[in-house]
Amino acid sequence: MKDIATILTAESLSKEDIVTLLKVNGHDEQLIFQKAAEIKEKNVQNKVYFRGLIEFSNLCRKNCLYCGIRKENKYLLRYTLNDEEIIEAAKFAYENHYGSVVLQSGELTGRSFVNRVSRLLQKINRMSGGRLRITLSCGEQSYETYRKWFENGAVRYLLRIETSNPVLYARIHPDDNIHRYNTRLKCLESLKKAGYQVGTGVMIGLPDQTFEDMADDLLFIRQIDADMVGMGPYIEHKHTPLYSYRNRLYNRNERLKISLKMIALLRILMKDINIAATTALQAIDPFGREKAIMAGANVIMPNITPAKYREYYLLYEDKPCTDEESINCLQCLQIRISTTGNQIAFDDWGDSVHYVRRCKETAGLKLH
Ligand code: SAH
Ligand code: SF4
């Protein structure tokens, strides 16, 4: 077998190489993190961008088998923030110099939801004079809806593929027309066509997910040429069907370790994209996000949802910061990030360098 240092000097990593790298520990693992840190510094600098996360509704029409806010979870109080609460949260982000906000919700469709999101986009843009970048994460929608939201001022969209293995995807979703792998793929294509900076990602450590699946996940992300990625450990939730598979999981610390290696390998594979240090990492390890930043991530999504709603947006158990006011989260994060040798890029949109390059290349092609 090739040694790890040799694999890491290669021009590109094969699936086999990635599988080998995902399995290493100790000194070899440190070599991967070092390489990812070097690549990060060279291509996107040692900066961390903040995206204030507003979880504006936990209503969802879907029943993903892993998710705590799935429609059939009857133990959950459902909420939707009103416009004033959303604008107030966005104002907090703006006044505290975050470059961007993310509006996330369960998946809802229908004209009134689509129009409401458009209206919110306009209001946030008006409030900030267009100086806040807005990301949406509201699930699967038609091309026309994506386009409408783009025209109303959203510039980025997060839609995780969850797993690139269609068989595993089918196993973690109900078998019906609103939970199809191919629809998810089509949505990712529509988002790109509509002009967004496109973000995707996966859950790591799902029941029966193999290292080969995870290597394929990274190659999938590269193949669709994502601009941004958010991926983190799968964490079980009591009130979901997937909970009954909890004995077939890697233990939580192993899931964290694999997730950090996935982040580092993704940075090696895609040097100039934005990679989030996701909150699920912190649910396992209080310093999970800081470790991710040192392994190649460059985005953090501080939760700025009004504190009283946070306990109802429990996608998974042990979600951190559910009782914190946004201002405390900010102070806590500033201290935490200073320990990683990175700087918080306040007042900076932090657009994906990859996206900017992608646009320039497309423009170049059109000129010829
Ligand atoms: N409804 C939208 C956005 C909200 S869910 C959507 O599904 O795209 C956001 C993400 O939470 C999902 O993409 C999923 O990857 C993650 N998630 C849900 N349940 C989870 C769990 N049990 N463990 C880890 N991540 C989970
Ligand atoms: Fe709804 Fe998203 Fe959870 Fe699926 S993952 S149940 S679409 S909130």
pLDDT value of position 208: 96
Q: How far is the CA of 291 from the centre of ligand 1 (A)?
A: 21
CA distance 343 to 247: 40
Contact 218, 269 (CB under 8 A): yes
pLDDT value of position 279: 93
Those residues whose C-beta lies under 8 Å from the C-beta of residue 113, and which sit 6 or more positions away, are none
| Residue whose CA is at the smallest distance from ligand 2 atom 2 | 106
Contact 228, 275 (CB under 8 A): yes
Those residues whose C-beta lies under 8 Å from the C-beta of residue 33, and which sit 6 or more positions away, are 260, 264, 294, 295, 296
Q: How far is the CA of 236 from the centre of ligand 1 (A)?
A: 12
Those residues whose C-beta lies under 8 Å from the C-beta of residue 170, and which sit 6 or more positions away, are 181
Q: Kindly give the confidence (pLDDT) of every residue in the chain, 368 residues in length, as a single tens digit, with 9 standing for 90 and above.
A: 679 999 999 889 999 999 999 999 999 999 999 999 999 999 999 999 999 999 999 999 999 999 999 999 999 999 999 999 999 999 999 999 999 999 999 999 999 999 999 999 999 999 999 999 999 999 999 999 999 999 999 999 999 999 999 999 999 999 999 999 999 999 999 999 999 999 999 999 999 999 999 999 999 999 999 999 999 999 999 999 999 999 999 999 999 999 999 999 999 999 999 999 999 999 999 999 999 999 999 999 999 999 999 999 999 988 887 777 777 778 888 888 988 999 999 988 999 999 999 888 887 766 55
CA distance 87 to 126: 10
Those residues whose C-beta lies under 8 Å from the C-beta of residue 175, and which sit 6 or more positions away, are none
Task: Answer yes or no: is the C-beta of 205 below 6 A from any ligand 1 atom.
Answer: no
pLDDT value of position 106: 98
Q: How far is the CA of 181 from the centre of ligand 2 (A)?
A: 14
Residue among 324, 282, 317 nearest 300 (CA): 282
Task: Answer yes or no: is the C-beta of 279 below 6 A from any ligand 1 atom.
Answer: no
Task: Answer yes or no: is the C-beta of 137 below 6 A from any ligand 1 atom.
Answer: yes
The first and second tokens of residue 184, run together, are 């998810």
Q: How far is the CA of 9 from the centre of ligand 1 (A)?
A: 35
The first and second tokens of residue 324, run together, are 């914190």
Task: Answer yes or no: is the C-beta of 194 below 6 A from any ligand 1 atom.
Answer: no
Under DSSP, the state recorded for 104 is E
User: From start to end of 108-171, where are the E strands?
Assistant: 133-137, 156-158
Q: How far is the CA of 6 from the centre of ligand 1 (A)?
A: 36
Under DSSP, the state recorded for 192 is H
CA distance 64 to 118: 26
Task: Answer yes or no: is the C-beta of 67 below 6 A from any ligand 1 atom.
Answer: yes
CA distance 24 to 260: 12
- Measured from the Cα of 139, ligand 2's closest atom is 7
CA distance 302 to 256: 19
CB neighbours (10 Å) of residue 250? 17
| Residue whose CA is at the smallest distance from ligand 1 atom 1 | 106
| Residue whose CA is at the smallest distance from ligand 1 atom 10 | 160
Vertex 289 angle, CA 199 and 69, to 5°: 60
Query: Which helix H or strand E contains 47, and what residues bound it?
Result: strand 47-57
pLDDT value of position 109: 96
Look at residue 99 and give its three-state secondary structure.
Answer: coil
Q: Classify 78 in phi/psi space as left (phi over 0), alpha (psi -120 to 50) or beta.
A: beta
pLDDT value of position 367: 55
pLDDT value of position 19: 98
pLDDT value of position 1: 65
Task: Answer yes or no: is the C-beta of 206 below 6 A from any ligand 1 atom.
Answer: no
pTM for the model: 0.96
